[in-house]
Amino acid sequence: MKRLLILHVFGALLVTIAQGATSFELAAKATNQVGVDLHRQLETSDENLCISPYSIDSALAMTFAGTDGETRNEMARVLHFPNDGDVPASFFALQQSLEQMSAKTAELVKDFEKFGGASEPITLNIANRLFAQKGYHFREAFLLLVKQNFGGAFEPLDFVADPVAAAQRINKWLADQTRDRIRDLNSRRRAGQDNPARPGERTLPESAVGE
């Protein structure tokens, strides 16, 4: 029976083991726990399973930063976030660590080539963005926090009036960030009016990891 669970934070975990607790430990631990939870839910056969918990957790961590009350408590429980921890700062530290690891492989490859080893460095592309309903007011403090800690730009789209165009725009952004490895992720149903009671509230956090 073959089962494959890919955790994109393996580099961060190795550093954590070597150096002990660091500022990104919160994000790394939570992401791995979410990955295990997803694996248990999605594993239904003997076939291989490949998931990216880092992408999922990063996207939801952006929205978690803007929550409060019961919503925050429920998200913290599912995502394994402590209510008293600085989640955004921890994800910022984790992303920096992963990007540094990717950069270091380029240097290592030069040495490996001398001995006939691997000639291709690890290429890691991490991109985050918030797609929100056009005309809906978001607090500037929240938008600034997301930009500073996740590098997530804010882009308003009209999900209500033109859900098809909104989905196409998000799909194009994902395809560009992942070198066409992820395409057509968002359907009209997801981006459209699937909640008539609150049609003005539309926020789709996206996190893309390309290799």
Instruction: Judge whether residue 143 has pLDDT over 80.
Output: yes
Ranges of each domain in the chain:
1-110, 124-211
Q: Dump pLDDT digits (tens) for 93-112.
A: 999 999 888 888 877 877 77
Domain 124-211: top CATH class: alpha beta
The pLDDT of residue 3: 42
Instruction: Judge whether residue 203 has pLDDT over 80.
Output: no
Name the burial class of residue 175, with classes exposed (0-12), middle (13-18) and buried (19+) by CB atoms within 10 angstroms of its CB: middle
The pLDDT of residue 85: 83
The pLDDT of residue 145: 95
**Model confidence band, residue 128 (pLDDT cutoffs 50, 70, 90):** very high
Per-residue tokens: 179: 């070198």
Length in residues, the chain: 211
C-alpha span between 169 and 186 (Å, rounded) = 9
C-alpha span between 208 and 171 (Å, rounded) = 11
The pLDDT of residue 195: 46
Pick the more confident residue, 119 or 179: 179
The phi, psi pair for 206, rounded to 5°, reads -125, 140
Phi-psi region of 36 (alpha: psi -120 to 50; beta: other; left: phi over 0): alpha
Number of Cβ atoms within 10 Å of the Cβ of 34: 21
**Model confidence band, residue 76 (pLDDT cutoffs 50, 70, 90):** very high
Q: What percent of the chain has pLDDT over 90?
A: 48
pTM: 0.76
The pLDDT of residue 50: 85
3-state secondary structure 16-59: HHHHCCCCCHHHHHHHHHHHHHHHHHHCCCCCCCCCCHHHHHHH
Could you tell me which of 121, 150, 120, 141 has the C-alpha nearest to residue 55? 150
Q: Dump pLDDT digits (tens) for 148-191.
A: 999 989 999 999 999 999 999 999 999 998 888 888 877 654 55
Helices 87-114 & 53-64 angle (0-180, nearest 10) = 150
The pLDDT of residue 157: 94
